[in-house]
Amino acid sequence: MGVEQKLGNLGIVTTSLEKAVNWSRTRAMWPLLSGLACCAIEMMSAQASHYDMSRFGMELMRASPRQSDLLIVAGRVTRKMAPVLRRLYDQLPDPKWAVAMGDCCSCGGVFNNYAILQGVDEIIPIDVYIAGCPPRPEGLIHGILTLYEKVENEKLTKWK
Amino acid sequence: MNEKLQNAIQVLQQKYGCEAHVHRGEHTLFMSADNLFEASQVLRDDFGFNLFASLTATDYWPEEEPRMHLSYQFFSIEHNMHLRLRVPLAGDNLNVPSIEKIYPNANWYEREVYDMFGVNFDDHSDLRRILMPYEWEGHPLRKDYPLGYEEPQFTFNFDAIDLRKPKATE
Amino acid sequence: MAQLQEVSLDEIRHLVSDRAISGETMLLNMGPQHPSTHGVLRLLLELDGETIVHCIPDIGYLHTGIEKNMEAKTYQKAEVMTDRMDYLNTVGNNLVYCLAIEKLVELDVPERAQVIRVVLTELQRIASHLVWLATQSLDLAAQSVFLYCFREREIILDLLELVSGQRMMTTYIRPGGVWRDVPEEFYGAVDDFVNMFPKRIDQYDGLLTKNPIYIDRTKRIGVISAEDAVAWGLTGPTLRGSGVAYDLRKFQPYSGYEDYDFDVPTQTSGDVYGRFMVRMEEFRQSLRIVQQGMKRLKETKGAPVHSNNRKYVPPPRSEIGVSMESLIHHFKLWTEGFNAPKGYVYFPVESPRGELGCYLESDGGPKPYRVHFRAPSFSHLQAISKLSKGHMVADLVAIIGSIDIVLGDADR
Q: pLDDT tens, C352-392?
A: 999 999 999 998 888 899 999 999 999 898 888 888 888 88
Eight-state DSSP code of residue C346: E
Phi/psi region, residue B80 (left: phi>0; alpha: psi -120 to 50; beta: rest), is left
Name beta bridge partners: B83. Answer: B74
C interface test, pick of A81, A87, A105 with most C CB neighbours within 10 Å: A81
Does C2 contact A115 at a Cβ distance shorter than 8 Å?
Answer: no
Å between A129 CA and nearest CA of chain C: 20
Q: pLDDT tens, B28-60?
A: 888 888 888 888 888 888 888 888 888 989 888
Does B53 contact C15 at a Cβ distance shorter than 8 Å?
Answer: no
Residues of C in contact with A67 (CB under 8 A): none
Closest CA to B147 of C243, C275, C127, A113: A113
CB C247 within 8 A of CB C279: no
A residues 82-141 near B, CB within 8 Å?
Answer: 108, 112-115, 118, 122
Residues of C in contact with A80 (CB under 8 A): 60-61, 63
Q: Does B140 touch chain A (CB under 8 A)?
A: yes
Eight-state DSSP code of residue A22: H
Eight-state DSSP code of residue B7: H
Integer Cα distance of C221 and C353 in angstroms: 19
Å between A117 CA and nearest CA of chain B: 10
Specify the pLDDT at position C197.
Answer: 92
Residue A84's contacts (CB-CB under 8 Å, 6 or more residues apart) are C4, C31, C32, C33, C61
Closest CA to A62 of A29, A97, A105: A29
Stretch C199-205: mean pLDDT, rounded?
Answer: 90
The answer, yes or no, to whether residue C100 has pLDDT greater than 50, is yes
Integer Cα distance of A148 and A141 in angstroms: 10
Q: Which residue of B has its CA nearest to C342?
A: B23
Indicate the residue of C72, C232, C359 with minimum beta-carbon distance to B147: C72
Q: Which residue of A has its CA nearest to C62?
A: A78
What percentage of chain B has pLDDT greater than the value 70?
A: 96
Which residues of chain C are at the A interface, by a Cβ-Cβ cutoff of 8 Å?
A: 1-5, 31-35, 39-40, 60-66, 68-69, 80-81, 84, 87-88, 131, 134, 146-147, 150-151, 153-154, 157, 167-169, 407-408
CB C282 within 8 A of CB C125: yes
Indicate the residue of B82, B105, B141 with minimum beta-carbon distance to C68: B141
- Give the mean pLDDT of chain C: 87
C interface test, pick of A32, A33, A36 with most C CB neighbours within 10 Å: A36
The answer, yes or no, to whether residue C5 has pLDDT greater than 60, is no
Residues of B in contact with C369 (CB under 8 A): 58
Query: Rounded to two decimals, what is the model's pTM?
Result: 0.91
CB C300 within 8 A of CB C158: no
Name beta bridge partners: B56. Answer: B71
**Residue B137 falls inside a structural domain:** yes
Cis peptide before C316 (omega within 30 of 0): no
Closest CA to C116 of C351, C270, C305, C287: C305
Domain A28-153: which CATH number of 3.30.930.10, 3.30.70.270, 3.10.310.30, 3.40.50.12280: 3.40.50.12280
Cα separation of the two ends of chain A? 36
Å between B60 CA and nearest CA of chain A: 20
Residues in chain A: 160
Tell me how many residue pairs between chain B and chain C have CB atoms under 8 A apart.
97
Specify the pLDDT at position C190.
Answer: 92
Indicate the residue of B52, B130, B147 with minimum beta-carbon distance to C68: B147
If DSSP codes are grouped into helix, strand and coil, which group holds residue C255?
coil
Integer Cα distance of C141 and C145 in angstroms: 9
- Chains touching C (at least 3 CB pairs under 8 A) are A, B
Residue C102's contacts (CB-CB under 8 Å, 6 or more residues apart) are C109, C175, C176
Specify the pLDDT at position B91.
Answer: 76
Does A114 contact B133 at a Cβ distance shorter than 8 Å?
Answer: no
Q: How many domains does chain B have?
A: 1
Does B146 contact A79 at a Cβ distance shorter than 8 Å?
Answer: no
Q: Domains in chain C, please, with CATH?
A: 66-309+341-377+393-411 (1.10.645.10)
Least confident of B30-39, C2-11, C173-182, C266-275: C2-11
**Is the pLDDT higher at B163 or at C105?**
C105
If DSSP codes are grouped into helix, strand and coil, which group holds residue C241?
coil
Residues C19, C22, C23: CA angle, nearest 5 degrees: 85
Q: pLDDT tens, C226-251?
A: 888 888 888 889 889 888 888 889 88
List the CATH number of the domain containing B77: 3.30.460.80
What is the full per-residue pLDDT of chain A (160 aa) written as tens digits?
667 677 667 777 778 888 888 888 888 888 887 788 888 888 888 888 888 888 888 888 878 888 888 899 988 898 888 888 888 899 998 888 999 998 888 888 888 888 888 888 888 899 999 998 889 999 999 999 999 999 888 887 766 5
Q: pLDDT tens, C291-312?
A: 999 999 998 888 888 888 888 8
Specify the pLDDT at position C188.
Answer: 92
Q: Which amino acid is located at C69 in the chain?
A: N
Q: Which residue of A has its CA nearest to C82?
A: A110
Integer Cα distance of A125 and C271 in angstroms: 45
Q: Which residue of C has its CA nearest to A121?
A: C1
**Residue B23 falls inside a structural domain:** yes
ipTM of the complex, rounded to two decimals: 0.88
Spell out where C309-398 has E strands.
Answer: 343-350, 355-362, 370-374
Å between C142 CA and nearest CA of chain B: 33
What percentage of chain C has pLDDT greater than the value 90?
A: 25
Domain encompassing residue B23: 2-144
Q: pLDDT tens, C110-132?
A: 989 999 999 999 999 999 999 99
- The H or E element containing residue A130 is strand A128-130
Q: Which residue of A has its CA nearest to C409?
A: A37
Confidence category of residue C3, pLDDT binned at 50, 70, 90: very low
Name beta bridge partners: B59. Answer: B68
